[in-house]
Chains A and B, each alone.
Chain A
Amino acid sequence: GQNIDQPTEMTATEGAIVQINCTYQTSGFNGLFWYQQHAGEAPTFLSYNVLDGLEEKGRFSSFLSRSKGYSYLLLKELQMKDSASYLCAAYSSASKIIFGSGTRLSIRP
């Protein structure tokens, strides 16, 4: 079976750093996606990790540990526009992409 867990909601302060965690259990694991979804809009791609380690892309970084079934998304220098849901998704065998329920991030001034 497949299972993806991430916190339902998080709150952070503008200018600060926040880490959103994701744990997964899936057979035939190939990689881990992170998507951002603003209210009323479609998800948009943020990152994809295949190998263990941290990948940095501007203010956003994503980490993967395949042995622990764990990933996190790190957002630095938070801005109000970062208020959104962040979806973790596992890419498994047979090209299947399963999403977690998402973490709703609220940024306060």
Chain B
Amino acid sequence: DARVTQTPRHKVTEMGQEVTMRCQPILGHNTVFWYRQTMMQGLELLAYFRNRAPLDDSGMPKDRFSAEMPDATLATLKIQPSEPRDSAVYFCASGTGGNEKLFFGSGTQLSVL
């Protein structure tokens, strides 16, 4: 049963620390999206990739967030330094591009104290 795998599921850290979230897209999928979800903002698009190339990361605070795809099986989202306002659930989703639906990972629940 193919699924998107995200790690860690939960992360508690202190303000100023670096946080790295990882995502393994479904094998064969060539698009990867990173979203952040909070009660106030809903699902916000942070960045997305096609064939490992970044298409748009305008939703990310550039000074502290970075997203990469070192290879086709791994996408990373890094926050450095983290702040309490970054506390949210971060979802990764993958798809085959075009008009295909997205498959979401279980998310990383991030709490920055």
Contacts and interface: CB of A to CB of B under 8 A. Distances in A.
Our verdict on whether A and B bind, yes or no, reads yes
Chain B interface, >50% SS class: strand
A101 B35 CA distance: 12
B102 A87 contact: no
B41 A50 contact: no
A91 B48 contact: no
B52 interface: no
Interface residues of B, number: 21
Nearest to A44: B104
A42 B42 contact: no
Interface in A76-109: 87, 91, 94-102
Given A48-B99, A94-B55, A99 B42 contact: yes
A30 B99 contact: yes
Contacts of A45: 101-103
Interface residues on A, range: 20 to 34
Contacts of B42: 87, 99-102
Given A31-B99, A42-B91, A50-B99, A99 B43 contact: yes
A95 B50 contact: yes
B55 to A, nearest CB: 6
B35 A33 contact: no
Contacts of B43: 43, 87, 99, 101-102
A95 B55 contact: yes
Residue of B35, B45, B101, B104 contacting most chain A CB atoms (<10 Å): B101
A15 B104 CA distance: 29
Interface string A17-45: 00000000000001101000000011111
Contacts of A43: 43, 91, 104
Contacts of A33: 101-102
Nearest to A4: B42
Q: Considering the complex of A and B, which 7 residue pairs feature the smallest CB-CB distances, nearest first?
A: A101-B42, A42-B104, A99-B43, A45-B101, A43-B104, A102-B42, A42-B106
Interface of A: 30-31, 33, 41-45, 48, 50, 87, 91, 94-102
